[in-house]
DNA sequence: CGACTCTTTGATCCTGATCAACACCGGTGG
DNA sequence: CCACCGGTGTTGATCAGGATCAAAGAGTCG
């Protein structure tokens, strides 16, 4: 729980545009910025700036600061923090910080978890693209709606179900990028997971232990290996 | 928890329009249909039909049925039920069933609690009024927004706070009609209150007992008398 | 008056929070 | 290379809030 101790010295953008955002990128096929296959979206590649590396706890954006860009995770992990709670985790290939207040300010903090690189989409360039191209505009509108809707989480479900469906969600999202993976990296602390799920860190550990005892996963010190994804989904049922 | 056993034989509208909806009505000054003092709203009075009496458990509207009217409580109490939960209580003077699906169907059930009379605002007449008069249209739009927003309740607050703020809410709403009252009728069962607040009936009783022990209210078999409204509000704080 | 339902109250159980002890790691400095 | 250290993860013990079950009052309606 030591996030955002100070604003990190903002690392410079090292490379820009097609020089860094092209089919050679690990997530090119699945990146939320260009996903969907529509050729029009490829224009997004030309406005990208690569930003990083950020170290653990560095704050990428802070609330009330002017909204100058949206971001995608290139590698590592980021989380959105607000009101003393973790509101979302962002995996490689996922866009975030799309939303802004009516006054054009960020609504939450976003902090890096471990060493992390980002792809930066400057606001001005993005807006220009949206005016030119309806496909891009509606694509981003959809993602923004999705981001805003997230916080609606299962609230009074038992702890085991919340952890299970959290992992199932992470697995699904990771498989957008790496289809057959069974490993879910968890570089964030148990406290952060607990904050996100509304339970104590000790309970997170206990629920993982229970899933392990049920043969559903194995716990490593950098994440979990899902042995039985179907059973995992089964535990997440609210029934 | 015996609501909606069967569809009640729909009681006929006994009187219509100004013959039943005028300044002689107990809630005329506070009825949500005409509240705000704007003279334009008084046109609502001419389209009213009085409906009742309904008996305990009678279903006034049911989900997926065509949305033919909105209602206000004239006397008694109504509750909106959906998904096996009580979603809202409706006090005398309050409008409900304003919302409909895109296909023009009701979204939830509404059942009477005890002997209850309603004021019925037929959909066709209401729509006609709205086209004629922007004041009425925006007034109803506002109420509809309010109705839709309701379900956002304190969810993980302790039981005592939930009961306290529930009573504080009821008191505030009752005072719209009867400004200095300290009595809150509770004709619904403890089960229904518990369902609404997300706790067991036994816990509702226990929390009422605790508030009584603290001298905040006295419990009667038909409701509670608030002795210290300020302290009641204090218990509702999420702090 | 009697059957029934609802409320109240007590006893027990279960879930998850909290606290504390301990193991495990990744460093740092000798 | 090894001892030391602080942070994190795990695990056990205890605790509190509320659910559940059961039994005993209190109305209510026939």
HEC string of chain A? CCCCCCCCCCCCEEEEHHHCCCCCCCCCCCCCCCCCCCHHHHHHHHHCEEEEEECCCCEEECCCCECCEEEEEEEEEEEEEECCEEEEEECCCCEECCCCCCCCECCCEEEEEEEEEEEEEEHHHHHHHHHHCHHHHHHHHHHHHHHHHCCCCCCCCCHHHHHHHHHHHHHHHHHHHCCCCCEEECCCCHHHHHHHHCCCHHHHHHHHHHHHHCCCEEEECCEEEECCHHHHHHHCCCC
Give the pLDDT confidence score for residue A5 in this predicted structure.
46
Instruction: State the count of interchain CB pairs (< 8 A) between A and B.
Output: 6
A159 touches strand C (CB under 7 A): yes
pLDDT-based confidence at B197, cuts 50/70/90? very high
Query: Nearest C-alpha of chain B: how many angstroms from A149?
Result: 14
Instruction: State, as a whole number of angstroms, the distance between the CA of B110 and the C1' of C7.
Output: 25
Nucleotides of D under 7 A from a protein CB: 8-13, 17-22, 26-28
Q: Which residue is nearest to nucleotide D8 (CA to C1')?
A: A189
Least confident range from A62-76, A125-139, B35-49, B158-172: namely: B35-49
User: Beta-carbon neighbour count of residue B179 at 10 Å?
Assistant: 9
What is the Cα B164 distance to its own chain's centre?
A: 18
For residue B82, count CB atoms less than 10 angstroms from its CB and return exposed for 0-12, middle for 13-18, buried for 19 or more: middle
CA dihedral A174, A176, A178, A182 (to 10 degrees): 50
Q: Classify each residue of B62-79 as buried b or exposed e, where b means 16 or more C-beta atoms within 10 Å of its C-beta.
A: eeeeebebbbbbbebbbb
Condensed to tens digits (0 to 9), the pLDDT of residues B130-146 reads 888 888 888 889 888 88
B155 to chain A: which residues are within 8 Å by CB? 155-156
A55 touches strand C (CB under 7 A): no
Give CA separation, A161 vs A68, A86, A116, A156, A167, in Å. 38, 19, 30, 10, 10
Give the pLDDT confidence score for residue B170 in this predicted structure.
97
What is the Cα A233 distance to its own chain's centre?
A: 21
Give the pLDDT confidence score for residue A6 in this predicted structure.
47
Instruction: State, as a whole number of angstroms, the distance between the CA of A221 and the C1' of C30.
Output: 29
Structure tokens at B169: 């809410």
The share of chain B scoring above pLDDT 90, in percent, equals 56
Longest dimension (CA), chain B: 55
Instruction: State, as a whole number of angstroms, the distance between the CA of A183 and the C1' of C15.
Output: 29
B198 to chain A: which residues are within 8 Å by CB? 156
Average pLDDT for chain A: 87
Nucleotides of C under 7 A from a protein CB: 6-11, 15-20, 24-25
Listing from the earlier edge strand, what are the strands of the sheet with B217-220? B183-185, B223-226, B217-220
Instruction: State, as a whole number of angstroms, the distance between the CA of B137 and the C1' of D25.
Output: 52
How many whole angstroms separate alpha carbon A172 and alpha carbon A168?
A: 6
For residue B29, give the H/E element and its range. none
Give the pLDDT confidence score for residue A4 in this predicted structure.
47
A155 to chain B: which residues are within 8 Å by CB? 155-156
A198 to chain B: which residues are within 8 Å by CB? 156
Name the more confident of B2 and B226.
B226
Q: What is the CA radius of gyration of chain A?
A: 18
Instruction: State, as a whole number of angstroms, the distance between the CA of A206 and the C1' of D11.
Output: 9
CB B155 within 8 A of CB B198: yes
* Residue B180 at interface with chain A, using a CB cutoff of 8 Å: no
> Is it the case that residue B149 has pLDDT exceeding 80?
no
> Is it the case that residue A3 has pLDDT exceeding 90?
no
Condensed to tens digits (0 to 9), the pLDDT of residues A25-40 reads 888 888 888 776 666 6
Report whether the peptide linkage leading into residue A93 is cis, meaning its omega lies within 30 degrees of zero: no
Condensed to tens digits (0 to 9), the pLDDT of residues B60-97 reads 998 989 999 999 999 999 999 988 999 999 999 999 99
What is the Cα B200 distance to its own chain's centre?
A: 22
Query: Nearest C-alpha of chain A: how many angstroms from B156?
Result: 8
DSSP designation for B127: H
Distance spanning both ends of chain A, measured CA to CA? 33
Beta bridge partners of A131: none
Question: For the whole prediction, is pTM greater than 0.95?
Answer: no
> Is it the case that residue A142 has pLDDT exceeding 60?
yes
How many whole angstroms separate alpha carbon B237 and alpha carbon B166?
A: 12
Give the pLDDT confidence score for residue A138 in this predicted structure.
87
* Residue A154 at interface with chain B, using a CB cutoff of 8 Å: no
What ranges in chain B are assigned the alpha helix state H?
123-132, 134-149, 159-177, 190-197, 201-213, 229-235
Length of chain B as a residue count: 239
How many whole angstroms separate alpha carbon B120 and alpha carbon B70?
A: 6
Domains of chain A: 13-149 (2.60.120.10), 159-235 (1.10.10.10)
Query: Nearest C-alpha of chain A: how many angstroms from B158?
Result: 13
How many whole angstroms separate alpha carbon B36 and alpha carbon B59?
A: 30
Give the pLDDT confidence score for residue B120 in this predicted structure.
93
Q: Which of A163, A160, A177, A161 is nearest to A224 (CA)?
A: A163
């Amino acid at each position: 729980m030591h996030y955002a101790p100070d604003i990190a010295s903002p690392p410079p953008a090292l490379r820009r545009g097609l020089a860094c955002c092209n089919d050679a990128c690990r997530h090119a096929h699945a990146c939320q910025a260009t996903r969907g296959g529509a050729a029009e979206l490829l224009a997004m590649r030309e406005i990208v700036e690569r930003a990083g590396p950020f170290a653990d706890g560095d704050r990428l954006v802070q609330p009330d600061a002017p909204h100058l860009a949206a971001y995608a995770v290139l590698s590592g992990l980021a989380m959105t923090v607000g009101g003393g709670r973790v509101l979302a985790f962002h995996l490689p290939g996922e866009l975030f910080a799309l939303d802004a207040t009516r006054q054009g300010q960020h609504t939450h903090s976003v902090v890096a978890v471990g060493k992390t690189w980002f792809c930066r989409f400057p606001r001005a360039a993005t807006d220009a693209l949206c005016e030119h191209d309806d496909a891009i505009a509606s694509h981003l509108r959809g993602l923004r709606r999705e981001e805003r809707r997230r916080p609606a989480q299962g609230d009074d479900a038992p702890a085991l179900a919340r952890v299970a469906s959290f992992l199932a969600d992470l697995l699904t999202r990771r498989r957008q990028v790496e289809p057959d993976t069974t490993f879910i990296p968890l570089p964030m602390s148990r406290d952060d997971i607990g904050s996100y799920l509304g339970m104590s860190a000790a309970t997170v550990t206990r629920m993982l232990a229970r899933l392990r005892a049920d043969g559903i996963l194995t716990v490593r010190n950098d994440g979990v290996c899902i042995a039985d994804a179907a059973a995992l989904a089964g535990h997440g049922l609210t029934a």
